[in-house]
Amino acid sequence: MKSMNRRSMVALLGAAPLAGRLLTGTARAASQEDDAPPTKWRVVSSRQRFREVHFPDVVLTTHEGKKVRFYEDLMKDKIVVINFMYAKCEGVCPGITMNLRRVQKILGNRVGRDIFMYSFTLKPQLDTPAKLAEYAEMHGAGPGWLFMTGKPADMELLRRKLGYTNPDPALDKDVTQHIGNVRYGNEALEWWGACPGLAHASAIAQSILWLDWPKGYNRPGKESVNEK
């Protein structure tokens, strides 16, 4: 039980920046709308509001050379696992990528079927689809795990919208100091969490499975969550 509580706390703490931004954005929008004529008010669901604040539907290119839209193609109605990296990283990227490969093995054929893994480059100027394809092959990434690049401005927008920023401006500009968290979420249910990318692979996998309520939460013993 103690280990479960620690994992839950890590997930909640990791999700805090994203949730905080949502609350701040909602408050700001409410304040602006208070000053607007009633005819300009609009009623939107929390899911729609979350999408507008955090999920810009920019066009990206996968390591397979396919064009995809961030929200419509990658996020909508899916359980997703997200991280940021770059191919020539000599810091945490290789370790996190290898750890996520372990997570993929634990989740098995559910990856690509009802759980999707996405890695976004922090260096789109250098990480072409071909470079990302080499990186994916080198680390043994299987089906259902996409590595993506796009226009530099779009990749930076995604990084900020998804909360992969450092409050220290100097560190935030230094890509070698980038945040190594892994975010995971169920877009349809608006459930989001995060954990360190180097956390135990089985703990990450179990956290992801909890998002698939009630299947993943009520039947954890029947899921393959133990590393082999």
Taking the chain (228 residues) in runs of 10, the rounded mean pLDDT of each run is 42 46 43 50 84 95 98 96 95 95 96 96 98 97 97 97 93 90 95 95 95 57 43
Q: What pLDDT, on the 0 to 100 scale, is given for residue 29? A: 44
Q: Which pTM was predicted?
A: 0.77
CB atoms within 10 A of CB 95: 13
Angle at 70 between CA 51 and CA 48, to 5 degrees: 15
Tokens 């590595």 — which residue?
A: 147
Q: What pLDDT, on the 0 to 100 scale, is given for residue 90? A: 85
The two three-digit tokens of residue 146, written as one number? 């996409």
> How do the domains of the chain map onto residue ranges?
2-222
Alpha helices, DSSP H, located in the chain? 2-34, 46-54, 93-107, 129-138, 152-161, 169-173, 201-210, 215-218
Whose CA is closest to 190, among 112, 78, 115?
78
CB atoms within 10 A of CB 204: 27
Query: DSSP code of 111?
Result: B
- Residue 163 CB contacts under 8 Å (≥ 6 apart), including other chains: 17, 18, 21, 54, 183
| CATH number for the segment(s) 2-222 | 3.40.30.10
Q: What pLDDT, on the 0 to 100 scale, is given for residue 177? A: 87
